[in-house]
Amino acid sequence: MITRQRLAAGVCALLAALTAGIAVPSAAVADETADKDAPKVDLVLDVSGSMRTRDIDGGTRMAAAKQAFNEVLDATPEEVQLGIRTLGADYPGDDRKTGCKDTAQLYPVGPLDRTEAKTAVATLSPTGWTPIGPALLKAADDLEGGNGTKRIVLISDGEDTCAPLDPCEVAREIAAKGIGLTIDTLGLVPNAKMRVQLSCIAEATGGTYTSVEHTDELTDRVNQLVDRAADPVVVPQAVEGTDACAKAPTLDSGLYTDREEFGQARWYRVDVLPGQELRASVSVAADRGVGPSYGLLVRAVTVHGREIVRGEAAGTGRTDVISTGLRYPKAELDDADGEVKPAAETVCVEVTQSFSPADGVRTTPGLPLEMTIDIVDAPDDASDVAAFGLGRGWWLLGVLVLTGFLAGLIWGWVSRWRIAIWRTN
C-alpha cells in the first residue's frame, strides 16, 4: 500500500507547470477565490469502546479527544462553518448490522455556537463499534452544497469494523465525485494496520495522515487542519474527459480534476486564438498499489489527428505521482489590411497513462488526474518556442550535442596518439 500523501500531487503539478512555463496569474486566482462560499469542516470522532483505554498522558483517549475538541472550538476562525459527527457513540450491543449504522451528527455543519458545541461534546461516552466507512459517507453528505473548501477531519484509535465496506474505497468514491472534499486522518495509537488504513483514506482525497500520542499534539494538529480550511485556495473544477476529441469538453484557463482508468486515454478540447499560447500540465497520482513501471503522455493534436507537440514522463515505482506538460504557441495572423479576422483553432489535448494495478487492487474508480490549462498571449519569439517540440532550449541542446561530438573526436585522437607513443617506446 502506498503511504506517501497525495499532497505531493500538488507539488509535482506546480513543478510541471513551471517546467512548461505555466504561471497562473495572481489576478485570476483572486477572481476564483473572491466569490467562494464559507469553508466547511466536519470533525468525525471515533467514540467506540476502545476509546476508554488509558494510554494518553495518563488519561483515556476519550478525555484527550474532548480536551482537544474544546480547545479547537475556542480557536476556530469565525469564517469557518464547523460540524461534529460521531461514530460508535450510541449502540453498545453485539449486533454487527446495527453497530455498523451507528454514526450521528452531534453538531450540524454551520456557523459555530461554541457553548452549544462544547456541551454536545461533553455528553460523549465510549460505547460501540467503529463504522468508519459509513461515517465518511454521512460526513460527505453533511458538507454538501456551496463552492467553498470542504474538509473532513477523522480521529480514530482503531480499524474499521464494518467490512466489506472498505473505508479506503469509500474515500476513493468520494474523491471521484469531484466535489473538492479533502479527508485528513489522525490515529491515536501507533498501530500498523490502522496506520495503513487511515493513510489510504487520506491519500485518496489529497489529505494527510498523522499519528498522535499526546493531547497537545492532537490539539495542535486539529487546529492546523481547521485553519487550513480557511486558507484561500483554488478548488479544481471537476470535468469528464471522453474517449475521442469530437466528444470532449471544451476547457478554458483553469485547474481541473478527473479520474482516468488504468491504461486509459482521456480527451479534452481547448480553443486557441492566433497570438495565444496554450500551456498545459498534467499530474496523475497512484492512490493505491500499482506496478513498479509506468508512464504519462500528454499530447496536443489538431482536430484532424496531426500531432502538434507532446510531453511525456516515466516512473519506476519510487514516487506515487507523475507529471508532465507542454506548450503550443499559435502564430499571429497578418491582418495589417484589416481584412483577416482571427479564428480560434481547436486543439485536442490527449492524456494517456500506463499505470498497472497491483495484484488484488480494484481498478475503479480511476486514478486521480489534475490538469492545469493556461491560455496566454504568446511570446514575441513564438516561432522559436515550439521548434522541434523542444521549447526555447532546443538551441542549447544542439550546442551540447555538438560539444559532446567534438569532445569525443578529440578524446579519440588523443587516445590513439598516446597508444602510438607507447608502442614506439
Lowest mean pLDDT among 133-137, 161-165, 315-319, 368-372: 315-319
40-90 confidence digits (pLDDT tens)? 999 999 999 999 999 999 999 999 999 999 999 999 999 999 999 999 999
Cα 222 to chain centroid, rounded: 20
Cα 317 to chain centroid, rounded: 18
Lowest mean pLDDT among 4-8, 279-283, 327-331, 340-344: 4-8
Assess whether pLDDT exceeds 60 at residue 226.
yes
pLDDT, position 37: 85
Assess whether pLDDT exceeds 90 at residue 390.
no
Q: In sequence order, what DSSP letters do the residues of 295-362 get, joined into one string?
A: EEEEEEEETTS-EEEEEEEEE-SS-SEEEEEEEEEPPPP--TTS-PPP-PEEEEEEEEE---BPTT--
Burial of 343 (0-12, 13-18, 19+ CB in 10 A): exposed
CA-CA distance, 323 to 313, in Å (whole number)? 7
Q: C-alpha grid cell for residue 424?
A: 614506439
Query: What is the dihedral sign for C-alpha 150, 231, 287, 374?
Result: positive
Beta-carbon-side half-sphere exposure of residue 14 (alpha carbons within 13 Å): 4
Q: Could you say which DSSP state residue 95 is in?
A: -
Assess whether pLDDT exceeds 70 at residue 154.
yes
CA-CA distance, 266 to 297, in Å (whole number)? 11
Burial of 253 (0-12, 13-18, 19+ CB in 10 A): middle
Structure pTM? 0.67
Domain spans in the chain, listed from the N-terminal domain onward: 37-230, 237-379
CATH fold group of domain 237-379 = Jelly Rolls (2.60.120)
CATH 3.40.50.800 fits 37-230, yes or no: no
307-353 confidence digits (pLDDT tens)? 999 999 998 876 678 899 999 998 887 655 555 567 889 999 999 99
